[in-house]
Amino acid sequence: MSYSHHEEKHFIHRTGWLRAAVLGANDGIISVTSLIMGMAASGASSQTLLITCIAGLISGASSMAAGEYISVKSQVDIEHADLKFEANELEQNPHLELKELTHIYVLRGLTPDLAKEVATQLTAKNALDAHARDEIGIHENTSANPIQAAGSSALAFSLGALFPMFSILISPDDYISTVVMIVGILSLAGLGMLSSYFAGTSILKGSLRVTVWGIIAMTFSAWIGSLFNL
């Protein structure tokens, strides 16, 4: 008996780094562009805008890295605590844990006899893995990685913040706000398309979603800045 090896392309394993990267780049583009537009609307000079952009890049990237690390590390700590608790339960009450796993499979559509057989075999192979996956919901494809998430966020934020910085450098003083806004919108549209491509979702919907919310944020910031015209 022979069979051909069949592999399917899934996107769930990209969840960790893709979420952090998209969040970082989106924040880098929107927050720094909005900051520059708000400052420009207040009448700040091009030199002040450039310094503000650099400061926003450095502080934003640092903040994103620290915040992402702390957030994901907290998730990891919770997962480890759950696994430790489950390991203790498996040691003290193995028969009850087997019944619990069997009940889970019954709820998923298996007959009681088959559910018990599956639970028994998975328990014999690796009981903790079976309970982590099917009872707690911890899976290796979606498990958190604090260092990866922090690095992805910081790098992505920095790359996103380079767009408004580049806009300031190439724009005439009288048109900085307009050029920064145009480049910001185009970069957000590109980010939406890129993230949707890697996520395997609609490129048009992803691009529109990111762009529309970015425009709202930038417009609001420009309006606030105009209230403090220097």
pLDDT digits (tens, 9 = 90+) for 160-214: 999 999 999 988 888 888 898 899 899 888 888 877 776 677 888 878 888 888 8
pLDDT at 176: 87
pLDDT at 59: 93
pLDDT digits (tens, 9 = 90+) for 19-70: 667 778 888 888 898 888 888 888 888 899 999 999 999 999 999 889 889 9
pTM: 0.70
> Cα separation of 168 and 159, whole Å?
15
pLDDT digits (tens, 9 = 90+) for 122-162: 899 988 888 888 888 777 655 667 888 888 888 889 999 99
Residue 5 pLDDT > 60, yes or no?
A: no
Residue 12 pLDDT > 50, yes or no?
A: no
Residue 3 pLDDT > 50, yes or no?
A: no
